[in-house]
């Protein structure tokens, strides 16, 4: 077993941090580490929270940590900011918001950002989730900002996706546009102390009912994270959804589809890695590409790689 994974199995938090960094940076040991990590997986609950900037995701995460710690559960938080090339920056505000948990051994908080990882941020995030799981965290919370493609990709990797909305923010339009409806397992109306809650809830109900894709009921939970209100119910609904995923036929089908996608993506990444290094190291690959026919060149080099590149 990889020495870092041996240390992770012994609950060495520095090994955990180190392993995530290696994987984030596409270290040569990555696949070896991840295979060993997978061999000691623990099946912790993986919950994603997504929503517009400022919707209250971190505040909710903070409240959920407190709630879960009171139940004796350990919690890892992965904060992902696809808009930032620097990890750390995104978490600055979160550090303040989750400050009370920083000294707690049962809580691990980590931020991730785009850094040219081969499989992209979603891939690196999935690996980080698995590393936290192998360490033995009971619950892994993943917070992502925004409603772009990378958030969608990341949310496809969690067991339960919570979409956080706020009254009167126009978020509902975004849900339609960005394909959020396809990934939402549960809606939270946070900042329920503000006006417009009833209207948003009615809109969401309509949305949920007109969506026949879901094999389970999509709950709508109201929270006021500043007042610690609705957190208990939120966790209850998350737990119910988790039960659906792991203990029903429809849930198993969903897991199977997720796995199929992941396997294809991992293979794609490996092929890409090979083609990339084949072309980069090949003396005949043209330096000057300004006027070439990209289709012809792509086809020629793809065929060449199939013959010579193996």
Ligand X SMILES: Nc1nc2c(ncn2[C@@H]2O[C@H](COP(=O)(O)OP(=O)(O)OP(=O)(O)O)[C@@H](O)[C@H]2O)c(=O)[nH]1
Which structure tokens are listed for 279? Answer: 């072309």
| Distance from C-alpha of 293 to C-alpha of 206, rounded to nearest angstrom | 50
Q: Residue 58 or residue 87: which is nearer to Mg ion going by CB?
A: 58
**Residue 188: exposed, middle, or buried by beta-carbon count in 10 A (0-12, 13-18, 19+)?**
buried
Sole binder of ligand X in the list 15, 34, 45, 55 (CB under 6 A): 55
Closest CA to 130 of 253, 40, 244: 40
- Residue 242 as a binder of ligand X (CB under 6 A): the answer is no
Q: Residue 62 or residue 160: which is nearer to ligand X going by CB?
A: 62
| Distance from C-alpha of 149 to C-alpha of 178, rounded to nearest angstrom | 8
SS3 content of the chain, % helix, strand, coil (to 5): 55, 15, 30
Least distance from ligand X to the Cβ atom of residue 165, Å: 11
Closest CA to 127 of 31, 63, 6: 31
Sole binder of Mg ion in the list 50, 58, 161, 223 (CB under 5 A): 58
Tell me the window of 29-37, 40-48, 56-64, 118-126 that interacts with Mg ion (CB under 5 A). Answer: 56-64
Binding mask 57-96 for ligand X (x = CB under 6 A): xxx---------------------------------x---
Considering CB distances under 5 to 8 angstroms, the limit depending on partner class, which of Mg ion, ligand X, none binds residue 50? Answer: none
- Residue 225 as a binder of Mg ion (CB under 5 A): the answer is no
User: Cα 47 to chain center, whole Å?
Assistant: 8
Binding mask 247-286 for ligand X (x = CB under 6 A): ----------------------------------------
- Residue 237 as a binder of ligand X (CB under 6 A): the answer is no
Q: What angle do CA 107, 85, 89 make, to 5 degrees?
A: 45
Binding mask 164-203 for ligand X (x = CB under 6 A): --------------------------xx-xx---------
Find out whether 112 and 80 touch, Cβ atoms under 8 Å.
yes
Q: How many residues bind ligand X (CB under 6 A)?
A: 18
Taking phi first (over 0 means left), then psi (-120 to 50 degrees means alpha), and beta for anything else, what does residue 305 get?
Answer: alpha
- Residue number, nearest CB to Mg ion: 58
| Torsions phi, psi for 139 (to 5 deg) | -130, 135
Binding to ligand X (CB under 6 A) within 121-140 occurs at none
- Per the DSSP assignment, residues forming a β-bridge with 141 are 47, 77
Binding site for ligand X (CB under 6 A): 51, 53-59, 93, 97, 145, 190-191, 193-194, 224-226
Binding site for Mg ion (CB under 5 A): 57-58
């Amino acid at each position: 077993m990889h020495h870092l994974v041996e240390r992770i199995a012994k609950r060495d938090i520095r090994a955990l941090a180190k392993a995530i960094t290696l994987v984030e940076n596409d270290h040569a040991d990555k696949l070896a580490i991840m295979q060993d990590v997978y061999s000691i997986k623990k099946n912790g609950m993986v919950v994603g929270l997504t929503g517009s900037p400022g919707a209250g995701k971190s505040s909710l995460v903070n409240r959920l940590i407190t709630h879960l710690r009171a139940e004796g559960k350990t919690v890892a938080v992965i904060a992902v900011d696809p808009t930032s090339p620097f990890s750390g920056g995104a978490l600055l505000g979160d550090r303040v918001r989750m400050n009370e948990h920083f000294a707690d051994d049962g809580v691990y908080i980590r931020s991730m950002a785009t850094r040219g990882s081969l499989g992209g941020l979603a891939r690196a995030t999935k690996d980080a989730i698995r590393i936290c799981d192998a360490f033995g965290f009971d619950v892994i919370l993943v917070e992502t900002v925004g409603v772009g493609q990378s958030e969608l990709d990341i949310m496809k990797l969690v067991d339960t996706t919570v979409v956080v909305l706020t009254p009167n923010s126009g978020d509902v339009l975004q849900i339609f546009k960005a394909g959020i409806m396809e990934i939402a397992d549960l809606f939270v109306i946070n900042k329920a102390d503000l006006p417009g809650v009833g209207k948003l809830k009615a809109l969401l109900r309509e949305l949920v009912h007109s969506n026949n894709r879901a094999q389970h009921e999509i709950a709508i939970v109201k929270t006021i994270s500043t007042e610690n209100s609705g957190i208990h119910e939120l966790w209850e609904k998350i737990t119910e959804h988790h039960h659906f995923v792991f203990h029903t036929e429809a849930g198993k089908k969903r897991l199977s589809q997720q796995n199929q996608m992941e396997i294809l993506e991992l293979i794609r990444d490996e092929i890409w890695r090979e083609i990339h290094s084949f072309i980069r190291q090949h003396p005949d690959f043209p330096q000057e590409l300004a006027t070439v026919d990209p289709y012809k060149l792509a086809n020629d080099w793809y065929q060449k790689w199939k013959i010579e590149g193996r």
